[in-house]
Amino acid sequence: MAKILITGGTGYIGSHTAVEIFNAGHQYIIVDNLSNSSIDVISGIEKITGVKPIFFNIDLKDKTLTEQFFNSHSDIDSVIHFAAYKAVGESVQEPLKYYENNLLSLINVLENIKLHKIKSIVFSSSCTVYGQPNKLPVTEQSPILKADSPYGNTKQISEEIIQDFIKSNNGNCKAVSLRYFNPVGAHESAEIGELPLGTPNNLVPFITQTAAGIRAELKIFGNDYNTPDGTAVRDYIHVVDIAKAHVAAINRLLNHHNKSDFEVFNLGTGKGNSVLEIVKTFEAVTGIKLNYRITERRPGDVEQIWANTDKANIELNWKTQTSIGESLLTAWIREKKYRRI
């Protein structure tokens, strides 16, 4: 059993990971400043696990507060660092907010990892680092293309910062960067899920809110892409499967099974689905007819991307277990529970 710090642990992927870290028999502490999450997530996790999580409301941009936290928790074995902003569009409007938050928090965490001789970190990265790849599916060797948004750039820069840090640290710390494709769905209990603050940018929360009658219609952004049905293709992966990959990454680091001090893994299903396929699958598993309309393309969207997952399957001994239909159903059940419908 190890003690894991989960930064951003009240967020969407962080909260699901906290549950799986608990299920794997580890101890954990959550640090989050609740800037894009709710304190109710703590009771959601407690309902699932039966144990109230240890939680600190700390802004990791604050060097002094971060130092104080680590000084009083010197027995942390590993960090899973989620805490970051993630809205692509907002990052274009307010780039400095994104660079400040995402990079300063990471730097403060790494400084304390060094100071307290913490042995490992798992970093929350994104397939956005690949841009629109020339060859599909994308492997971890696919080129990193210039980021389309400040958000995407923070993920690229963060991976570079971590690599430089690891190199400078004489093998005392190891890192795994997990590049998520499109996380969807919610815990089967529906006690936690994606928090719907404001108008959703992402497809699945927009679908569930349309089904719940909160949004009048779903706009499908473009049907003139070079894909089988003309709508854009992504690799949608259930959030609990993503969470379980974090457990595999942590155990790999704790057991010294890593092959180098900095490793990268794609987290996807290996299969692409078009927007229209997602809509049709949602309708089939829920029996709800969605009101949708084809509109123009969304600026900045890539046409199609899905993962080659061989490396994660073999090295992490991890595989996705949940079908896209099951994933969409969990998203809908969570929406209904949250809205009390």
The catalytic residue positions are 151
Q: Is 219 in the site for ligand UD1 (CB under 6 A)?
A: yes
- Whose Cβ is closer to ligand UD1: residue 29's or residue 220's? 220
Applying CB under 6 A, among 189, 277, 302, 315 the residue interacting with ligand UD1 is: 302
User: What x/- string results for residues 109 through 138 when contact with ligand UD1 is judged by CB under 6 A?
Assistant: -----------------x-x----------
Applying CB under 6 A, among 5, 84, 88, 249 the residue interacting with ligand UD1 is: 88
Q: How far is the CB of 127 from ligand UD1 (least distance, A)?
A: 7
- Whose Cβ is closer to ligand UD1: residue 77's or residue 301's? 301
Q: How far is the CB of 200 from ligand UD1 (least distance, A)?
A: 7
Quick one: which segment of 36-44, 199-207, 262-270, 320-328 binds ligand UD1 (CB under 6 A)? Answer: 199-207
Of 251-280, which residues contact ligand UD1 (CB under 6 A)?
275
Q: Is 203 in the site for ligand UD1 (CB under 6 A)?
A: yes
Kindly report the length of the chain.
341
Quick one: which segment of 2-10, 20-28, 158-166, 214-222 binds ligand UD1 (CB under 6 A)? Answer: 214-222
Q: Is 215 in the site for ligand UD1 (CB under 6 A)?
A: no
Residues forming a β-bridge with 177:
123, 264
Query: Which is it for the CA torsion 217, 219, 223, 224, positive or negative?
Result: positive
- Whose Cβ is closer to ligand UD1: residue 2's or residue 122's? 122
Q: Which of 91, 273, 286 is nearest to 182 (CA)?
A: 273
Tell me the DSSP string of 47-113: HHHSSPPEEEE--TT-HHHHHHHHHT-TT--EEEE------HHHHHH-HHHHHHHHHHHHHHHHHHH
Q: Is 298 in the site for ligand UD1 (CB under 6 A)?
A: yes
Applying CB under 6 A, among 38, 43, 202, 313 the residue interacting with ligand UD1 is: 202
Applying CB under 6 A, among 111, 277, 301, 326 the residue interacting with ligand UD1 is: 301
- Tokens standing for residue 195: 């928090």
Q: Is 285 in the site for ligand UD1 (CB under 6 A)?
A: no
Q: Phi, psi at residue 296, to the nearest 5°?
A: -70, 165
- C-alpha distances out from residue 95 to 63, 103, 170, 295, Å: 21, 12, 33, 27
User: What is the 3-class SS of 274-334, one letter each residue?
Assistant: EHHHHHHHHHHHHCCCCCEEEECCCCCCCCECCECCHHHHHHCCCCCCCCHHHHHHHHHHH
Q: Distance between CA 328 and CA 324 in Å, rounded?
A: 6
Could you list the residues that contact ligand UD1 (CB under 6 A)? Answer: 86, 88, 126, 128, 149, 152, 182, 201-203, 206, 218-221, 232, 234, 275, 298, 300-302
